Structure 1
Amino acid sequence: MSPSPMLTIRPRTPADLPALAAALRAVHEAQGYPSLWPEDPQAFVAGHGTAWVALHAGQVAGQVILSPIPDPPPTWTGALTVPGPWLEVKRLFVTPRAQGQGAARALLAHAADQARQAGARAVLQVNERSAPAIALYDREGWQRLGTARGSWQEADGTVPTVLVYAAPA
């Protein structure tokens, strides 16, 4: 499937944060991401790193962040088996109304391309319960490297199992 001609990717600006927080709320209510609603949704969306937004029909539809990781997180021990340097794909989400338009795929490809241009490999972690995200990564040829413990707790106090992926070489 090709991205919608009404889809554009551009660098995120501070003015995008309120719309992205609202978009995240819609994603959380429809699909449970993030599994715990953040105390400060705009700070969660802002994250750390370089970010891009997807616009669908001129409206903010989602985002992705690339964040440097100088060393694999301790919970990834044994899972991150591709050589660095690495940039982690984080906070990738697309509103329910824009899903099926190629926005998530375009954001993911953009992040992987930006990592390659920076001389790094894009990697990510995903909760093993996030079937739509896992299907996207598998469909787009990302390499499943292994499993690890998440770095957060779920609402019930458990630590999720995550799958660690690397972008195609």
Structure 2
Amino acid sequence: MIRPRTEADLDGCVKALAEVQAADRYPVDWPADPHGWLTPGDLVAAWVAVADGVVTGHVGLARVEPELVESLGVPVGGAVTRLFVTPGARGGGLAARLLDQVRVTAGVPLTLNVSDEGRAAIALYERQGWRRVASTRARWLNSAGEPALLHHYLSP
């Protein structure tokens, strides 16, 4: 079941994020404040996937910077952020359903960025019809200790 995230879900989200970080190194570095990492200042809404009372996935919708919207040349309703699915819940299309939840809610194209190291995520986005529109270097470091290469995508 996918539903809007509540404050009461945050501890379960942190536990799920810890599983994802141990398996995939996402986020690359464990945040000092995982609750805060899951609730960035630009967050508009968030959803969780829950199975048997346990959080198995998460996705957020964030505001986008006006200069990004201008550079894309199309109306963009927000950015997908903090998308993850626990290792035990993968393989059944849950990440795609979480993406769809955000797209339906926004009603207009969305953007997202993903590290070059996130090959499974990149494959998912491209299977879902997302289009890579740019690549840039991040301010944070990848697993090799270099500025991460970020790919920027636009939803179908």
TM-score normalized by structure 1?
0.83
Residue of structure 1 in register with 2:122 after alignment:
134
Task: Report the equivalent of 2:19.
Answer: 26
Is the Cα–Cα contact under 8 Å of residues 36 and 155 in structure 1 kept in the other structure? Answer: no
Contact persistence 1:28–1:34 (CA under 8 A): yes
8 A Cα contact 1:36 1:154, kept in partner: no
Given candidates 98, 105, 110, the residue that maps to 1:107 is 98
Task: Give aligned-pair identity as a percent.
Answer: 37
> In the alignment, is the contact (CA less than 8 A) between 2:116 and 2:149 conserved in 1?
yes
Is the alpha carbon distance of 1:72 and 1:157 closer, same or farther for their aligned partners in structure 2, counting shifts above 3 Å?
farther
Q: Which residue identity is paired with 1:165? A: Y
CA contact (8 A) 2:2 2:50 kept: yes
- Give the one of 31, 44, 54 matched to 1:38: 31
Structure 2: how far apart are the matches of 1:16 and 1:143? 32
- Quick one: which amino acid aligns to residue 48 of structure 2? V
The aligned counterpart of 1:81 is 72
Change in CA separation of 1:81 and 1:29 when aligned onto 2, cut-off 3 Å: same
Quick check: 141-150 or 129-138, which moved more? 141-150
Aligned position for 1:122? 110
Gaps of 5+ in 2: none
Q: Is the 8 A contact 1:144 1:163 kept in 2?
A: yes
Structure-1 residue corresponding to 2:136: 148
Tell me the CA shift for residue 103 of structure 1: 1.2
State how many pairs are aligned.
154
User: Bigger relative contact order, structure 1 or 2, given CA contacts below 8 A and separation 6+?
Assistant: 1
Contact kept in structure 2, 1:55 and 1:62, CA below 8 Å? yes
1:27/1:95 contact within 8 Å kept? yes
| Deviant stretches of 4+, over 3 Å | 153-157
Q: Distance in 1 between matches of 2:139 and 2:5?
A: 26
3-state SS, counterpart of residue 150 of structure 1: strand
In 2, Cα distance between the equivalents of 1:55 and 1:82?
A: 36
CA RMSD of aligned residues (A): 2.0
TM-score relative to the length of structure 2: 0.89
Q: Could you tell me how far apart the structure 1 residues matched to 2:127 and 2:10 are? A: 29
Matches of 1:121 and 1:23, distance apart in 2: 28
Residue 151 of structure 1: how far off its partner (Å): 4.0
Structure 1 residue ranges without an equivalent (≥5): 1-7
Instruction: Give 1:156 deviation, angstroms.
Output: 6.0
